[in-house]
Homo-oligomer: A and B are copies of this chain.
Amino acid sequence: MKRNTWQREAVRTALGSNEGFVSAQSLHSTLRDTGSPIGLATVYRALADLAVEGEADSLQSLEGESLYRACTPGQHHHHLICRNCGLTVEIEADAVELWAQSVASEHGFTQPNHVVDVFGLCAECTAQVRPGR
C-alpha cells in the first residue's frame, strides 16, 4: 500500500512553488539548501511517481536530463517554454490533437501519442537579450 511521507510532500511542494521545469538534481539541492535532509534517490522516486500519477509533467531537456514541473492533473496539455529562464506556460491545442490523430491514421498508425512542445524566448528574456540594439 502507498504511504504518505514528509519527503513526498516536500517534493510536491517544492515542485509546486516553481515557475518552470526543474531537474531532479536541482530540486534536490534546493531542498537541501532549505534544510531538508532528503536523499537524492528519494527525489528521483517521488518525481517519477508524481509524473505517473499525472501531478507532474516531464520532458527531456536538450542536454538529455529529465525535467519536471507541477501541472494541473487530468487534462492533456502542452508547453510553451522559455529556453533562457525556464518560464513555462501551459497551452491547450485541440487542433494539434486532431492533427496528430489524423496524420497517424492516414499512415495506418494506431494508438497515437505525441510530443508537442514549443520553445522560445519569453518577453522578459527577449528584452534582456537585445536591450536597445
Binding site for B on A (CB under 8 A): 60, 62, 64-66, 80, 82-83, 89, 91, 93, 95-96, 99-100, 103-104, 107-123, 126
Using A93-B99, A95-B95 as known contacts, say yes or no to A112 and B120 having CB atoms under 8 A apart.
Answer: yes
Residues of B contacting A126 in the complex (Cβ-Cβ under 8 angstroms): 108-111
> Contact: A103 with B107, CB < 8 Å?
no
- Expressed in whole angstroms, the minimum distance between the Cβ of A74 and any Cβ of chain B is 22
Shortest 4 CB-CB contacts between residues of A and residues of B? A108-B123, A109-B120, A112-B120, A60-B60
- Of the candidates B96, B110, B113, the one whose C-beta lies within 8 Å of that of A99 is B96
- Expressed in whole angstroms, the minimum distance between the Cβ of A83 and any Cβ of chain B is 7
Compute how far the CA of A54 lies from the CA of B86 in the bound complex, rounded to whole angstroms: 27
Q: Which of A64, A83, A93, A115 has the most CB of B within 10 A?
A: A115
> Contact: B120 with A111, CB < 8 Å?
yes
> Contact: A103 with B116, CB < 8 Å?
no
> Contact: B113 with A114, CB < 8 Å?
no
Using A95-B99, A96-B99, A99-B96 as known contacts, say yes or no to A107 and B121 having CB atoms under 8 A apart.
Answer: no
- Expressed in whole angstroms, the minimum distance between the Cβ of A91 and any Cβ of chain B is 6
